[in-house]
Amino acid sequence: MPAVLALDQGTTGSTALVIARDGRVLGRAYSEFTQHFPQPGWVEHDAAEIWEVTRRVAGEAIEGAAGEARLEAVGITNQRETVVVWDRETLEPVHRAIVWQDRRTTEICRGLKEEGKEPEIRERTGLVLDPYFSGTKLTWLFRNRPELRKRAEAGDLAAGTIDSWLVARLTGGALHATDHTNASRTLLYDLESR
């Protein structure tokens, strides 16, 4: 029977559902992963662990469907503002994912506001300047890890929200993609030129 594998990669765990065309859940699995708090206000996830947990729950959900399902598509929902940076060739993360709850970029946001950048950013992205969003997390990472900035400038690294990380892993690196709903949560998405 035709079915969809739905992956819900949340803040504390990953869920996989195999859903038939008529809406019946044929298989389901869930597993949590480790939360890392290296400093007050910082929240990180190990992207490699997220990938392993997601693979495991997907396999368990497919097994739970007991051969009833013929997968026709995969859908991903995720913690949209969390950002992952990975090596394009090996697909290995080069830093822990910086989670949407993380507040380490408060000073970066404050500086951009003081420079008068917020109106332009809001006009282009539809978002206010806040550490919640992905763009300033990347700014922080490349300022604090100059070796990663050099690799990014050389084209050796990819960055994205959790969905794009999972798509890259699911396709063996063939795709680096996201959708409008995820991209619009990054502070990097120009609403006019989308």
Does residue 13 register a pLDDT over 80? yes
Tokens 């989670």 found at? 99
The total domain count for the chain is: 1
Whether residue 83 lies inside any domain: the answer is yes
Closest CA to 80 of 35, 123, 158, 134: 134
Range(s) of the domain holding residue 148 = 2-183
67 falls in which pLDDT band (50, 70, 90)? confident
Closest CA to 175 of 184, 183, 166: 166
Q: Is the separation of the CB atoms in 106 and 131 below 8 Å?
A: yes
Task: For residue 89, give the 3-state DSSP assignment.
Answer: coil
Does residue 194 register a pLDDT over 70? no
Burial class (CB in 10 A: 0-12, 13-18, 19+), 92: exposed
Does residue 140 register a pLDDT over 80? yes
Query: What CATH number has the domain bearing residue 57?
Result: 3.30.420.40
Predicted confidence (pLDDT) per residue in 75-100, tens digit:
999 998 999 999 999 999 999 999 99
Whether residue 50 lies inside any domain: the answer is yes
Give the percent of the chain with pLDDT over 90: 93
Tokens 């890392």 found at? 36
Residue 181: phi and psi, rounded to 5, are: -65, -35
Does residue 141 register a pLDDT over 80? yes
Whether residue 188 lies inside any domain: the answer is no
Whether residue 35 lies inside any domain: the answer is yes
Average of pLDDT values for 16-44? 97
- Report the sign of the C-alpha dihedral through residues 178, 182, 184, 186, in that order: negative
Average of pLDDT values for 94-122? 97
